[in-house]
Amino acid sequence: RTRLIIDTDPGVDDAFAIALAALSDDVDLLGVTTVFGNVPLSATTRNASRLLALCGRDDVPVAAGAARPLVHRHPREAGYVHGLDGLSGRAASLPEPSRELEPVDAVTLLANLLDAAEGPVTIAPIGPLTNIAALLAAHPRCAEKIDRLVIMGGAIGHGNSTAAAEFNIWSDPEAAHRVLAGGEVPCVLVPMDLTYRCAVSAEWLSTLAATGPVGAALEALTPDYLDHYRKALGWDGIVVHDAVAVAEAIRPGTLRTERAPVAVECSQGPGRGATIADLRRRELREETGTAEAPSAGIAVDAELDKLRDFLFER
Ligand code: BDR
Ligand code: CA
């Protein structure tokens, strides 16, 4: 069984990721923490609680975290991708949770859950990395309890928020730099290059909707997201970025990873938020003196049809 905590900014693809973990019998979902990102924190927090209620998981504690990036004052959201409420205008159609929010902030809940856990815990950060950077800074002892961070984020080729940067990293590059360069915890980075290859079609969504109330509710959250991805992909489908990362978190080895040095561009220039993964041959890295830089596992490939089937079945 995998002990798992999800740090999230729901978000339509976050909804699929939360459902994947919440409905998997082989996962101990210890908690869900929220962060600003796709929409403001109040909306991501409400969405996370309602999504857990949809999955019948009011037993899972939820705590709200950072409302803005570590260094910069103003978050920049992605309502144009996910709809202004984060869920294609359909958040209100989800059930009201019966459980109250935790009376502590996300960083405190993360630290408490890690302290109490009986063994190593996987964290899947699928939004900006602000809460995770704050956790590592404020509670360094927690690093030993974290088995690994399976992070949805980064772009090896072009980005989505800018030509260079993927949204989660671009939303708080300083936090991403803190987490990836800190070296306290093993990281797997699941970049958009791979998640795009695991897009699912509108037909896949309709088939999912026919499986029952949760499938139908998830499909109902996708109209605005489909509109966006029609432009991004050029066909009728969506990218479930965050669910790809959570699949790896709950079933290690689902994605093929390559270990490589990775740096986050924190300048104010056009490269801000870029993830520079050094996937050159090790011999060349050694020759040019970068082989020992902080590194992460970069997810580069997967058996895509099997992965789509896995998401569907769960
Ligand atoms: C990431 O950005 C968000 O919009 C999605 O939820 C995902 O976490 C993809 O770039
Ligand atoms: Ca997300």
pLDDT per residue as tens digits for the range 235-244:
999 999 999 9
Q: Rounded distance, CA 142 to CA 193, Å? A: 31
Residue 292 has pLDDT above 80, yes or no: no
Choice among 82, 177, 228, 241 that is catalytic: 241
Q: How far is the CA of 288 from the centre of ligand 2 (A)?
A: 35
Residue 290 has pLDDT above 80, yes or no: no
The whole-number pLDDT of residue 74 equals 82
Residues with CB under 6 A from ligand 1: 11, 13-14, 38, 78, 81, 126-127, 152, 160, 166-168, 192, 241-242
pLDDT one-digit tens code per residue, 123-178: 999 999 999 999 999 999 999 999 999 999 999 999 999 999 999 999 999 999 99
Assess whether 139 carries a catalytic annotation.
Answer: no
DSSP secondary structure string for all residues of 172-202: -HHHHHHHHHH-SS-EEEE-HHHHHHT-EEH
Q: Is 293 left (phi over 0), alpha (psi -120 to 50) or beta?
A: beta
The C-alpha angle 172, 178, 182, rounded to 5 degrees, equals 160
The average pLDDT across 17-24 equals 98
Q: What is the ipTM of this complex?
A: 0.99
CA 167 to mean position of chain CA atoms:
11
Residue nearest to atom 4 of ligand 1 (CA): 38
b/e per residue, 17-48, with b = 16+ CB within 10 A? bbbbbbebeebbbbbbbbbbbbbbbebbbbbb
The average pLDDT across 73-82 equals 84
The average pLDDT across 219-236 equals 95
The whole-number pLDDT of residue 2 equals 97
Mean pLDDT value across the chain = 96
